[in-house]
Amino acid sequence: MANFFTDNEDIRFLFGHLDLAEIATVQEDHFVHADANALDGAPLDAGDALDNYRRILSIVGDVAANHVAPRADAVDEEGNTLNPDGTVTLGEKVRQNLKVLAQAELMGFTLPRKYGGLNCPNVIYTMANEIISRADASLMNLFGLQGIAETINAFADEQIKNQYLPDFARGLLTGAMVLTEPDAGSDLQAVSLRAWQDSDGQWRLTGVKRFITNGCGEILLTLARSEPQSRDGRGLSLFLAERSARIRVRHLEEKLGIHGSPTCELVYDDAPAKLIGERQRGLVPYVMSLMNGARVGIAAQSLGIAEAAFRVARRYAQTRKQFGVAIEKLPAVAEMVTDMKIAIEAARALTYETSRVCDLENNNLRILETNPPSDAEELKRRKGDARVWKRLAGMLTPMSKYYASEMCVKVASDAIQVLGGSGYMKDYPAERHLRDARITTIYEGTSQLQIVAAVRGVCSGAFEKAVDAYEQFQVNDEPLSALRQKLTEGKQLVLKAVQFVKDRGPDYMDLHGRRLVDSAIAVMVGHLFVKQATASQRKRAVARRFIETQLSAVRRDVDLVLSGDRSPLDDYVTLAGAAPTA
């Protein structure tokens, strides 16, 4: 039987290569919950936990390959329907997909077992998101919304958790993160949907939200202004509103891609809601935390779409003959195909590394919050770790989202290029993959915003610290040491550019942000590849090719940064020309 986990050599390689035993051990509190007699699902040890993870991913791979992928074309064709009463009927195939995911017990992926969840770490969930996205990118927008339940778990009170989380895990409820408004997109501080308390003290929500993925879901985590006098993010709180007649879907967007995912405009008509956590903490930290998880989710979705597109192109390049040979024998095509493959593996290495760091960070925070160590030394160490992980995750998360999504658009576009005219036609899924890919650089924060977040990590020491840590990894092998040497050169170039930028202020930093972030990522992924290369012959070739090509890009980018050119800012009107009047 086809299986999108077991047929993916790179995911399986990383499953064995990443230190999942370490993650499992912290995720399962050193296995204190294990009961060797009951054998109720709590893993007995790291081996047992990893066996569970592998089995769970095999189920995801089975569902993706045999249930979801065969329906993907029809889902794309069919879309969803807005009813006159302001409700939405999901397409039949979408509903079938959700049913299968619920049957497979995959809808409480990261929730604690006490709420019926699987208690999987983020890195496994990221793999699952990728595998589902390869089958149908739009289904990931529903499967990948489990961050909503996670947010409830992290910040809501026990009563709300008990009321909703078990039904999320059973797949009986789906949710939406309801943030964006017509005048509050990238700038969420401008959210204006009004939260107010009626005479009984019941919170009510009034206003409009736009571009809400699965806004027709049952549980709407809604960011709203609870402090009418405020202007900024400190006046926002997070609310849980259940779908009712007081929340109407006014409009269902017609989109370029991800047609299976309903994108809704919502009207709240004094809808009753419950406050999540504390007032005024809605944007920071609740929504920021939710969005960080969602960004890694989009990185995973990007990987899945790119993987699907690559596989179409790889096969076509092998079977399509022109000039008497398979087109993969033509140098230009050969390079395009290998670049696609390496780009996917590079983004995957970075994204999984990010998930791994998030797991270490989240588990450390969970322990500090629920069961702080009594030993003063241990407490101090954990608090120190928390700061380190937070800074690292704060840089890696936007990096992954940016890097994987940009890669995805490029790979999906190149896949069509490999297929030529056939790729432009509906006969192959390549055009769907490109349409689905296009959103990934936009939602959950555009690439430009991810760069703004990431470049601050690059310029404030997080990059240097991360690379220092990678350099600690011992490589006793001549060719790999030579590659490491090049990465050291790359690091120094980046640090030189960083110093230059810092002397010129934030405008200049943001103008050259992309180049700084690209260069930093190239060095970091280079290190991840070198480490992978110690465990795989094939990865040696991948590491060599990646580092050779990327280092020349780093030199070029750093050159430009060091040029001091700021003409897009200083000569904007001259360069952009006059704005058209109509």
Residues contributing to the site for another protein (CB under 8 A): 1, 37-41, 43, 51-52, 55-56, 59, 62-63, 66-67, 96, 100, 103-106, 116, 118
Min separation Cβ 66 and another protein, Å: 8
By beta-carbon proximity to another protein, the closer residue of 34 and 223 is 34
Report d(CA 531, CA 533) in Å as an integer. 5
Distances (CA, A) of 58 to 276, 299, 314: 35, 21, 24
By beta-carbon proximity to another protein, the closer residue of 43 and 398 is 43
Min separation Cβ 39 and another protein, Å: 5
Contact 560, 515 (CB under 8 A): yes
By beta-carbon proximity to another protein, the closer residue of 39 and 172 is 39
b/e map of 21-33 (b: 16 or more CB within 10 Å)? eebbbbbbeebeb
Min separation Cβ 354 and another protein, Å: 24
Cis peptide, bond prior to residue 285, ω within 30 of zero: yes
Judge residue 513's burial from the number of C-beta atoms within 10 Å of its C-beta, 0-12 exposed, 13-18 middle, 19 or more buried: buried
By beta-carbon proximity to another protein, the closer residue of 34 and 411 is 34
By beta-carbon proximity to another protein, the closer residue of 44 and 368 is 44
Min separation Cβ 293 and another protein, Å: 20
Min separation Cβ 163 and another protein, Å: 21
Min separation Cβ 541 and another protein, Å: 28
By beta-carbon proximity to another protein, the closer residue of 63 and 342 is 63
Report d(CA 166, CA 188) in Å as an integer. 30
Report d(CA 361, CA 363) in Å as an integer. 6
By beta-carbon proximity to another protein, the closer residue of 65 and 216 is 65
Min separation Cβ 398 and another protein, Å: 31
Question: Which positions ≥6 away from 336 have C-beta within 8 Å?
Answer: 414, 417, 418
Min separation Cβ 8 and another protein, Å: 18
CA atoms within 13 A of residue 235's CA, in its CB half-sphere:
16
Ramachandran bin of 477, using left for φ above 0, alpha for ψ from -120 to 50, beta for the remaining angles: beta
Report d(CA 313, CA 315) in Å as an integer. 5
Contact 43, 35 (CB under 8 A): no
Contact 436, 258 (CB under 8 A): yes
By beta-carbon proximity to another protein, the closer residue of 5 and 470 is 5
Report d(CA 445, CA 451) in Å as an integer. 10
**DSSP state letters, 480-502:** HHHHHHHHHHHHHHHHHHHHHHH
- The torsion of the CA quartet 145, 444, 184, 450, rounded to 10 degrees, works out to 150
Strand partners, 236: 225
Tokens 């009321």, located at residue:
163
By beta-carbon proximity to another protein, the closer residue of 171 and 233 is 171
**DSSP state letters, 111-172:** S-GGGT-----HHHHHHHHHHHHHH-HHHHHHHGGGHHHHHHHHHS-HHHHHHHHHHHHTTS
Q: Amino acid letter at 109?
A: F
Contact 145, 175 (CB under 8 A): yes
Min separation Cβ 389 and another protein, Å: 28
Min separation Cβ 102 and another protein, Å: 9
Which two three-digit tokens encode residue 274? 């419950």
By beta-carbon proximity to another protein, the closer residue of 139 and 266 is 139
Distances (CA, A) of 529 to 80, 150, 314, 354, 494: 42, 31, 22, 15, 19
Min separation Cβ 187 and another protein, Å: 39
By beta-carbon proximity to another protein, the closer residue of 66 and 87 is 66
Judge residue 330's burial from the number of C-beta atoms within 10 Å of its C-beta, 0-12 exposed, 13-18 middle, 19 or more buried: middle
Min separation Cβ 162 and another protein, Å: 19
Min separation Cβ 259 and another protein, Å: 22
By beta-carbon proximity to another protein, the closer residue of 55 and 380 is 55
By beta-carbon proximity to another protein, the closer residue of 135 and 350 is 135
Q: Amino acid letter at 520?
A: A
Min separation Cβ 57 and another protein, Å: 10
By beta-carbon proximity to another protein, the closer residue of 52 and 174 is 52
Contact 298, 137 (CB under 8 A): no
